[in-house]
Chain A
């Protein structure tokens, strides 16, 4: 994973509470076999009119927010479905940072697996950032993960929250599967001590491996 240390970029404000992951990547795009290419369809129903014509009323289609890499959002961002396609889309679109007062648990967790920083910022500061981003064209923010600060070029600065373990994870761009596998002996010992956990099938079940009729 690419480490995250500092980032400066254009801010796009998405002024809605409870944005769910169904809005980020709708159901018809969940049939992909890879993690790539979800940026084009991010916020599909809001972003496109029928026929995939860009909806001029949707904020990400405003020319002034083209190239944004910091997404400013409201409370409970990413609620609903566990689909990791949502952060894949956020990242593929070009966002490296999300700023919101709160996130839904599964989405928050999924962001870290993809090198996205979901910064938790007090609601009053988020309000102020919305005012500034909407007022000034080209409004950019600098995000400093080691210092846990967000600042603009006009003197605004605020802190954001992040657990120390999550911070380290992003700073170092760690591979968490590899880290867990370093504890293979402990996992094996746990398995030995809990051998009774085995799944034992007492009735024959209809296990079947579908193959497409040729």
Chain B
């Protein structure tokens, strides 16, 4: 048999029906849903008299619009309340387990899938959310879908899909201190551009990827979609298996050992062919800061806001100029001279325990700058929140002047009250700095958790390598 990539192995394992030259019917192992993109899918299903085929393989959570403040208070946003009602009713009627906003297991959908062990190597996983790519960190094929496809999966537990091209991204060498998984993926997107991955599934490898914790690998796979690829994956290894062991949906005892033996086969064979390959050197990567209005408009913290006139493509020049106008920045400004109004540490990109630990270590004994209006810590799930509190991280953050919030998508998408005011500037650990995403005329700079924490302390961006980063993961 010819050598296969990890992607091809998972694809082949999930084909229900495939005629050469046509899209295949692919079986979906796990379907995650949330309140934001599912109501129309359930409505469509009902209109056609169809039922949820596998409620036991479908998992629902409330995350996009939930309050990160006191949830015992009435929900003033009536549209959000109606979506919560719809999700609860739809799940109850169809037998889909739901972790609602009061559940101890509630959290951002891409955080709780792995946390609860729902996400496992070799699976196909979909969700009506582009950051479903996160789950690829476990060696799963995971990608975001639209609402019509949610309806398709609810009705059939399958999707009609065409094979993607494959891109192998290798990150060689060791990460310098202060350089995180977030910086690796931002540097990758900076080079390949936000459409460089279109039509591809990415497999990440190399020493720097292998050395990442699962939390770090999830950050890399999460932002894969910002480079245009729907899915990113990392072949599972001992780091994966030790993360998984003991989680609620992960097999126990001998069954776990058997599963690990199967999961170990989930790697690209030697000599497997990728459509293309890109290589990076981790020692060359500096902490990254975005300066524009998409994640590919990014540079190193020790450099300056670029001059769009220096770009070769006229469309890029125009986009760059428009981005700088929106961001209120001038070419040539040192990145470290950019002040921030608010700081957000959270989102499905960077709200896991490793992220919170690293940020806490950096701010311990320091205080948020007086010029910063608000610094939010929003854990990705209530499970992470509880674990962080057990370690005393909440105390470190609140002593340093940060707000310690409840779990949800929060200031990444701003569907709840956590938004920026017009022209406010944030250091954010989220994944998208698009115009208006965090509030009309809001200016967001994407950074790692330690970079965001350092910006909160200093009141402007700083090169985190100048802080004591000896312990930073």
Contacts and interface: CB of A to CB of B under 8 A. Distances in A.
Interface of A: 15-18, 20, 22-23, 26-28, 30-35, 45, 50, 74-76, 79-84, 87, 102-106, 109-110, 113-114, 163-165, 176-177, 179-181, 183, 186-187, 190-191, 194, 197-203, 205-213
B249 A201 contact: yes
**Residue among A26, A35, A209 with most chain B CB within 10 A:** A209
Given A28-B415, A33-B83, 6 more contacts: A79-B195, A103-B198, A105-B199, A109-B149, A187-B156, A212-B81
A164 B40 CA distance: 28
A84 B43 CA distance: 15
7 contacts: A79-B195, A83-B37, A104-B195, A106-B144, A114-B148, A207-B97, A207-B98
Interface in B56-75: 56-57, 59, 62, 64-65, 74-75
Nearest to A204: B248
A28 B27 CA distance: 33
Contacts of A15: 318
Given A31-B65, A109-B146, A113-B149, A211 B249 contact: no
B160 A176 contact: yes
Describe A's contact surface by its main secondary structure: loop
Given A82-B145, A84-B37, A186-B25, A18 B319 contact: yes
Contact of A33 (B22, B40, B251): B40
A89 B277 CA distance: 37
A210 B435 contact: no
B155 A33 contact: no
Closest A-B pairs by Cβ, 4 of them: A113-B148, A210-B100, A84-B146, A31-B79
Contacts of A23: 434-436
Contacts of B310: none
Contacts of A200: 249, 251
A18 to B, nearest CB: 6
A52 B415 CA distance: 19
A79 B228 contact: yes
B99 A187 contact: no
B176 to A, nearest CB: 30
B152 A177 contact: yes
A82 B195 contact: no
Contacts of A28: 415
A131 to B, nearest CB: 14
A110 to B, nearest CB: 4
Contacts of B48: 177
Contacts of B74: 213
Contact of A17 (B37, B98, B157, B315): B315
B449 interface: no
A180 B62 contact: no
B30 A202 contact: no
B346 interface: no
Contact of A79 (B21, B79, B100, B194): B194
Contact of A106 (B30, B130, B440): B130
Contacts of A80: 130, 226, 432, 434
B102 A210 contact: yes
B313 to A, nearest CB: 9
Contacts of A203: 248
Contacts of B59: 199
